[in-house]
A and B are shown apart, each in its own frame.
Chain A
Amino acid sequence: MAAQTDVVIVDTGCANLASVGFAFDRLGASYQISRDADVIYSAPRVLIPGVGAAPYAMNILREAQLVPVLQNLTQPVMGICLGMQLIFDLSVEGGRDVACLGMVDGAIEALNTADLPSPHMGWNQLGDLADDPLLVGISAGDYAYFVHSYAAPVSTYTLATSEYGQKFSAIVRQGNVYGCQFHPERSSATGARILKNFLELGE
């Protein structure tokens, strides 16, 4: 039997696949980028990356017939940036409701940035941290790198918040499914720690 990889990165056809893989390289973890259902099902952990727009990314997942595959995963799963938005029930991006994966209850809404520049782009602080294995070693006030115009409102699934015009969910968890609104692969030591914690889930 071939040695199992630590994590499978779902090939969402989005542009940051390489950067996410490089982040696991820096942690000494092995990974595979795939859109093969069997590979994804048998992965110890699954990461859903993404940049760009929700309607486009959902089309790719539907065409690759990955929607039911992802919905049925029981191992640790983490969506990052757009990938986090995809794990919710729906997104209003593009001016209409886009059905997403429904792995976390709730809807993605436009971030109300009031009179601040939008998109929300740059290093912002994490706050309201929950006690969760994903957040070991992370402190309130740590900075993470965000780039987005849509966000998940704060809910019972929120593990950490951030604030730009309004408070929103920076990290969520429902059961085995996690989401990070920021880019851990570009969030320096804070991001690396979160990815390392993710790799230790399910061990």
Chain B
Amino acid sequence: MLAKRIIPCLDVRDGRVVKGVQFRNHEDVGDIEDLALRYRDQGADELVFYDITASTEQREVSPLWISRVSKALDIPFCVAGGISSVDTAARRLNAGADKISINSPALINPDLINLLSGTFGRQCIVVGIDSFHDGQAYRVKSHTGDPDKMRETGRDTLGWIKEATQRGAGEIVLNCMNQDGMRQGYDIAQLKAARTVCPVPLIASGGAGAPEHFEDIFIQAGVDGALAASVFHKSVITIPDLKQYLGSEGIEIRL
């Protein structure tokens, strides 16, 4: 059976791993390789590295640390942030990233998804979506790495998931912004709705605070993986304990 994936997310700024609450007030949580290896040893199924400043500052993720991470890790990892062309994507993949994730550049230029998917194959093209419920509907935001540069795109989240997968996205990471960093649980209703329109693997992001939240999102929304950051960085939840719990609840997990 295919196992549900537990995916620690490491937000990277200036070569360090940081974490904010609802995308603000970032604090330093450690060195990239140290954390990557710690999570590998704990049984993480995959890692995601988001260069949170890359998109808003229009600079590129340094391939240097990508290569260091690739040398050290024997599990897959995805790199996100500042990828806006075939060339920038190629550099990250050639440095050893298994997947690349695009967010704001795909919203500005949706054809980029077709281009990247056609060049590298859809299996390594992830589209990340930051979705915010504005009281009426789920809408997509862009440039969320910097609160001052954040933009409304006017796009409906489910519509964008459909379009992105039709254009060649091989996986969707749906970050539910209302829940991000709040540790009150994933947005089950939104992820359930996303599941019905998403034909590719779907990863839940935003809101994990307890092992039960992972169980809920796997069982109720049928997502393929769950991403979390602060609960792992601050050892509120440890991955071995989480996996043990999920396994005991009958969820397919790689122990």
Chain B residues with CB under 8 A of A120: 2
Give B83 Cβ to nearest chain A Cβ, in Å.
13
The one of B70, B76, B170, B224 that contacts A22, using a Cβ cutoff of 8 Å:
B70
Given the contacts A15-B90, A124-B3, A163-B1, A118 and B200 also touching, CB distance less than 8 Å: yes
Chain A residues with CB under 8 A of B254: 123, 143
Chain A residues with CB under 8 A of B71: 22, 25-26
Complex alpha-carbon distance, A164 and B224, angstroms? 13
Given the contacts A186-B75, A188-B75, A121 and B1 also touching, CB distance less than 8 Å: no
- B-facing mask of A104-121, CB < 8 A → 1, else 0? 000000000000111111
B153, CB-defined interface residue at 8 Å: no
A32, CB-defined interface residue at 8 Å: no
The answer to whether A52 and B121 touch across the interface, beta carbons within 8 angstroms, is yes
A125, CB-defined interface residue at 8 Å: yes
B202, CB-defined interface residue at 8 Å: yes
Give A38 Cβ to nearest chain B Cβ, in Å.
25
The answer to whether A121 and B170 touch across the interface, beta carbons within 8 angstroms, is yes
The answer to whether B75 and A145 touch across the interface, beta carbons within 8 angstroms, is yes
Give B40 Cβ to nearest chain A Cβ, in Å.
8
- B-facing mask of A6-27, CB < 8 A → 1, else 0? 0000000001111100110110
Instruction: Give residues of chain A (160-175) contacting chain B, Cβ–Cβ below 8 Å.
Output: 163-164
The answer to whether B201 and A183 touch across the interface, beta carbons within 8 angstroms, is no
Chain A residues with CB under 8 A of B121: 51-53
B120, CB-defined interface residue at 8 Å: yes
The answer to whether A121 and B74 touch across the interface, beta carbons within 8 angstroms, is no
- Please, how many residues of chain A have a CB less than 8 angstroms from a CB on the other chain? 37
Chain A residues with CB under 8 A of B73: 186
A191, CB-defined interface residue at 8 Å: yes
- Measured CB to CB, the nearest residue on chain A to B74 is A188
B96, CB-defined interface residue at 8 Å: yes
Give B97 Cβ to nearest chain A Cβ, in Å.
8
Complex alpha-carbon distance, A123 and B254, angstroms? 7
A73, CB-defined interface residue at 8 Å: no
The one of B67, B70, B124, B224 that contacts A122, using a Cβ cutoff of 8 Å:
B224
Give A137 Cβ to nearest chain B Cβ, in Å.
16
Give A140 Cβ to nearest chain B Cβ, in Å.
13
A139, CB-defined interface residue at 8 Å: no
Which of A16, A23, A122, A189 is the most central at the interface, judged by chain B CB atoms within 10 Å of its CB? A122
The answer to whether B123 and A149 touch across the interface, beta carbons within 8 angstroms, is yes
Chain A residues with CB under 8 A of B74: 23, 26, 185-189, 191-192
Give A83 Cβ to nearest chain B Cβ, in Å.
13
Chain B residues with CB under 8 A of A35: none
The one of A22, A125, A148, A192 that contacts B123, using a Cβ cutoff of 8 Å:
A148
